[in-house]
Amino acid sequence: MPDPTRPNPHAAPVPPASLNPARPVEVPVPEDAGAARQAGAAVNGGERVRRIAAESAWVDVMGGASRHEIRLYDHGFIALIDAMPRLVPAGQTADAAIVQAARVSYGAGTRRVNEDRGLIRYLLRHRHTTPFEMVEFKFHVSMPIFIARQWIRHRTANVNEYSGRYSVMPDRFYRPGPDQVRKQSRANRQGSESLFGTGEQTPEEALTARRFMEYLDEAERLHARYTDLSERGVSRELARIGLPVSLYTEWYWKCDLHNILRFLSLRMDAHAQEEIRAYAVAMHDLIAPIVPVTMEAFADYELGAVRLTRLEVEALRSRAAGGSDALATDNARERAEWERKRAELGLA
Ligand SMILES: Cc1cc2nc3c(=O)[nH]c(=O)nc-3n(C[C@H](O)[C@H](O)[C@H](O)COP(=O)(O)OP(=O)(O)OC[C@H]3O[C@@H](n4cnc5c(N)ncnc54)[C@H](O)[C@@H]3O)c2cc1C
């Protein structure tokens, strides 16, 4: 039996104290924290684990709530149910954990709030991403299966989903209204454009929108057959296979802030499907008050940014030199994208 009080010769090398947050480091503490410190030492026999009191009071980043929830569509929601750090020093936000991690690499320096803000903005601008992985958020989400299919592609999250093998799938479907039936986009094979139900709707368009609603009715009626087959003893894992992807599922989804920003960047984008965009915007709104400095930087450097290709930069250089800003390519899609960017930049 190894003696826990003696050094283990097989243990991994321990980094210097300044790089090892698990190692107790003497920090100046206020007088009233002394008793708590001593109590901690007594509980642990004064050995190995030492409890170092906080320098100031802690506050809950969720204000003591068990969840912060946003309802979406008929049966959907996204709820923030936990955060890391959950507790932060009074007067700070969860952005503090990013600054704390970054200072391991950049040194303590001064700790003024505006400098912390500058550091976070610098990190995000220069894609020094690992400090953002020190913050995590856990969500409880209810969404239609066709949205879950897109969402699950973000592999860096931890997911636990409702089991249709173990439990009966509830009779809950995503159902856009007859005036929300979108037309296939002509420009983008993956997208929609205008609605069938708005403006001057032709009789043919009205009929198509009605047919779409009948199609959903038919698909939703399958739930009664699913229930009947389950009651007749067909296993739930098999009975469910005829249900449509408009059925709602639920999961717990936990992800670090770096990868959440990536998720938001892709799924708040105009190219993402409208329904997942609604969830992404809601996720953004749930975390923005908890990491406000990061989300401000994210808005400045990602959401509000326009990314330029080399050809586009050359077109701009040519324009600045008094020439044309036409793109040097025959590719129609690239040209169309440049047109959109020119309009966004006020150059069109
Ligand atoms: C508008 C839009 C349209 C899309 N259309 C389609 C489509 O038609 N078909 C389709 O299949 N998908 C489609 N996708 C999904 C897309 O291809 C990505 O799978 C999805 O956006 C997740 O991105 P990600 O891999 O960067 O995210 P994550 O899985 O969260 O990964 C984040 C980053 O981690 C790294 N990483 C994670 N896992 C690995 C790994 N195993 N190996 C190496 N690096 C890894 C990569 O750098 C990756 O960028 C679409 C996405 C969008 C936003």
Q: Measured between alpha carbons, how far is 335 from 339 in angstroms, rounded to an integer?
A: 6
Is position 336 within any domain? Answer: yes
Question: Does residue 267 have an active-site annotation?
Answer: yes
| Ligand 1 mean position, distance from CA 11 (Å) | 38
Number of alpha carbons in the 13 Å side-chain half-sphere of residue 83: 30
What percent of the chain has pLDDT above 70? 80
| Ligand 1 mean position, distance from CA 264 (Å) | 13
CATH of the domain at 92: 3.30.1360.170
Is position 31 within any domain? Answer: no
Listed in order, strand segments (DSSP E) in the chain are: 58-60, 68-72, 76-84, 87-89, 136-144, 158-161, 182-184, 192-195, 248-256
Minimum CA distance residue for ligand 1 atom 11: 153
Do 292 and 340 reside in the same domain of the chain? no
| Domain count within the chain | 3
Is position 28 within any domain? Answer: no
**Residue 198 sits in which domain range?**
178-242
Q: Measured between alpha carbons, how far is 17 from 2 in angstroms, rounded to an integer?
A: 24
| Ligand 1 mean position, distance from CA 108 (Å) | 36
Q: Residue 52: which of 28, 84, 85 has the closest Cα?
A: 28
pLDDT above 60: residue 78: yes
pLDDT above 90: residue 184: no
Annotated catalytic residue: which of 112, 165, 267, 317? 267
Do 126 and 261 reside in the same domain of the chain? yes
Do 201 and 286 reside in the same domain of the chain? no
| Ligand 1 mean position, distance from CA 212 (Å) | 31
Do 209 and 88 reside in the same domain of the chain? no
Q: Is 154 in the pocket of ligand 1 (CB under 6 A)?
A: yes
Is position 38 within any domain? Answer: no
- Closest ligand 1 atom to residue 155 Cα is 29
Token pair 């209204």 in the structure block, residue: 177
Confidence band (pLDDT; 50, 70, 90) for 198? low
Do 211 and 287 reside in the same domain of the chain? no
Minimum CA distance residue for ligand 1 atom 22: 154
Is position 299 within any domain? Answer: yes
Structure tokens at 16: 């210097």
Do 64 and 148 reside in the same domain of the chain? yes
Describe the crossing of helices 332-344 and 310-320 by its angle, rounded to 10 degrees: 60
Q: From 242, 274, 292, give the residue that closes a domain.
A: 242
Q: Is 340 in the pocket of ligand 1 (CB under 6 A)?
A: no
Is position 17 within any domain? Answer: no
Interval 229-270: pLDDT, tens? 999 999 999 999 999 999 999 999 999 999 999 999 999 998
Q: Is 189 in the pocket of ligand 1 (CB under 6 A)?
A: no
Which pLDDT belongs to residue 303? 93
Do 74 and 134 reside in the same domain of the chain? yes
Do 229 and 315 reside in the same domain of the chain? no
Number of alpha carbons in the 13 Å side-chain half-sphere of residue 216: 15
Do 123 and 72 reside in the same domain of the chain? yes
Q: Measured between alpha carbons, how far is 249 from 164 in angstroms, rounded to an integer?
A: 9
Do 266 and 119 reside in the same domain of the chain? yes
Q: Is 227 in the pocket of ligand 1 (CB under 6 A)?
A: no
Q: Which of 153, 262, 265 is the pocket-test mutation for ligand 1 (most atoms within 8 Å of CB)? A: 153
Q: From 219, 242, 265, give the residue that closes a domain.
A: 242
Do 121 and 158 reside in the same domain of the chain? yes
Which pLDDT belongs to residue 189? 65
Do 289 and 140 reside in the same domain of the chain? yes
Measure the CA dihedral 246/250/252/256, to 10°.
Answer: 20
| Ligand 1 mean position, distance from CA 337 (Å) | 22
Number of alpha carbons in the 13 Å side-chain half-sphere of residue 347: 15
pTM: 0.83
Is position 63 within any domain? Answer: yes
Q: From 242, 268, 290, give the residue that closes a domain.
A: 242
